[in-house]
């Protein structure tokens, strides 16, 4: 072997050393039931984020907004709460049908069912309340009561999140991302918009 070949072999050998310390992180692989649960719970998460955004706009506008704008905000909240309530019912059906985790020694499945039922009821109540507040004669009530009700809706969503996080970890074996920032690709394959 000549010195030039030896030098090339030695350079390749030394160059490969640092690469051995690098790690490739693999995406978890889900079975069809886990994938269905994951997709449905992320769709519910997305609908709840729409509710949070709508209530935040009402709170942000506070007393400075016109009655017409507050009524438009109330209509938006009612629509989004209604959609989230329906999605919570769908999510509950998917979770119940899946029967995960199995076995469920810690009673996680009934806890998740209860949490989704409570969330659905809260969202349905929100939709009814804010629909009623869109009437022109309800403007003073919306101005005084609507902001507080929006905060209560946000609190109901926050109460649901610990249940879904624990359920996700146990039944799916994956980390739950409660919002889009840092979540990477969503189950549908689309990535959140970069900011």
Measured in whole angstroms, the distance separating CA 66 from the mean position of its chain's CA atoms is 31
Query: Nearest-5° angle of CA 164, CA 169, CA 175?
Result: 90
Q: How confident is the model at residue 61 (pLDDT cuts 50, 70, 90)?
A: confident
CATH code for the domain defined by 30-172 = 1.20.1420
Q: What is the 3-state secondary structure (H, E, C) of the chain?
A: CCHHHHHHHHHHHHHHHHHHCCCCCCCCCCCHHHHHHHHHHHHHHHHHHHHHHHHHHHHHHHHHCCHHHHHHHHHHHHHHHHHHHHHHHHHHHHHHHHCCCCCCCCCHHHHHHHHHHHHHHHHHHHHHHHHHCCCHHHHHHHHHHHHHHHHHHHHHHHHHHHHHHHHHHHHHCCCCCCCCCCCCCCCCCCCCCCC
pLDDT tens-digit series, residues 87-127: 999 999 999 999 999 888 899 999 999 999 999 999 999 99
* Overall pTM > 0.85: no
Would you kindly state where each structural domain of the chain is located, as residue ranges?
30-172
Residue 20 above 60 pLDDT? no
Q: How confident is the model at residue 194 (pLDDT cuts 50, 70, 90)?
A: very low
pLDDT tens-digit series, residues 139-190: 888 887 787 888 889 899 999 999 999 998 999 888 888 775 544 445 554 4
């Amino acid at each position: 072997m000549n010195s030039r070949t030896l030098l090339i072999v030695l350079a390749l050998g030394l160059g490969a050393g640092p690469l051995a310390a690098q790690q490739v992180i693999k995406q978890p692989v889900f079975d069809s039931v886990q994938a269905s649960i994951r997709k449905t719970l992320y769709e519910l998460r997305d609908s709840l984020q729409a509710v949070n955004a709508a209530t935040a706009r009402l709170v942000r506008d506070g007393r400075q907004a016109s009655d017409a704008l507050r009524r438009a905000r109330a209509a938006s909240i009612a629509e989004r709460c209604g959609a989230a309530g329906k999605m919570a019912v769908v999510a509950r059906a998917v979770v119940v049908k899946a029967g995960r985790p199995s076995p469920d020694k810690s009673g996680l499945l009934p806890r998740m069912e209860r949490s989704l039922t409570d969330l659905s009821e809260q969202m349905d109540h929100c939709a009814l309340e804010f629909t009623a507040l869109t009437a022109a004669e309800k403007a003073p009530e919306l101005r005084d009561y609507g902001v507080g009700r929006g905060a209560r809706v946000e609190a109901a969503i926050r109460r649901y999140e610990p249940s879904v996080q624990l359920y996700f970890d146990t039944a799916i074996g994956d980390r739950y991302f409660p919002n889009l920032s840092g979540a990477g690709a969503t189950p549908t394959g689309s990535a959140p918009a970069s900011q």
